[in-house]
Amino acid sequence: RLFESGGGLVQPGGSLRLSCEGYGFTFRTSGMSWVRQIPGKGLEWVASISADSGGTYTADSVKGRFSISRDNSENTLYLQMNGLRADDTAMYYCAKLGGFAVLNLELDSWGQGTLVTVSS
């Protein structure tokens, strides 16, 4: 029900925009998040956004470089990634929150992920 795209190989300092399309649920009333995972390592929360884009939350590790946004008319979530570094290399998952807002809500549905590799 969640399909990510936009990953790939990018040079250090470059930019990428990830997209995540949602199907089979009411996208415009669901908060959304991005979570990443370095291959073989644990999960790291990246960013979250409320259903109406009124609240956005970003991890300190990517603040100022990554921004989360959404287009409810297109049922699509975005992650704009600028100033990419080697340690941003990871699988990036899109996930749906269990309600309209963000705080104290769980990630109740996940996409299959899109791989981002930052290397020269």
Partner 1 sequence: QSVLTQPPSASGAPGQRVTISCSGSSSNIGSYTVDWYQQLPGTAPKLLIFANTQRPSGVPARFSGSRSGTSASLAISGLQSEDEADYYCASWQESRNGKYVFGSGTKVTVL
Q: Which residues bind partner 1 (CB under 8 A)?
A: 33, 35, 42-45, 48, 57-60, 63, 93, 98, 102-104, 106-113
Distance CA 117, CA 111 (A): 18
How far from 73 is each of 10, 89, 101, CA to CA, in Å?
Answer: 29, 30, 18
Residue indicated by tokens 């990517």: 62
Q: Please, which residues bridge with residue 70 across strands?
A: 77
Q: Which is nearer to partner 1, 73 or 104 (CB)?
A: 104
**CB-nearer residue toward partner 1: 40 or 73:** 40
Residue closer to partner 1 (CB basis): 11 or 87? 87
Shortest distance (Å) from residue 85 CB to partner 1: 19
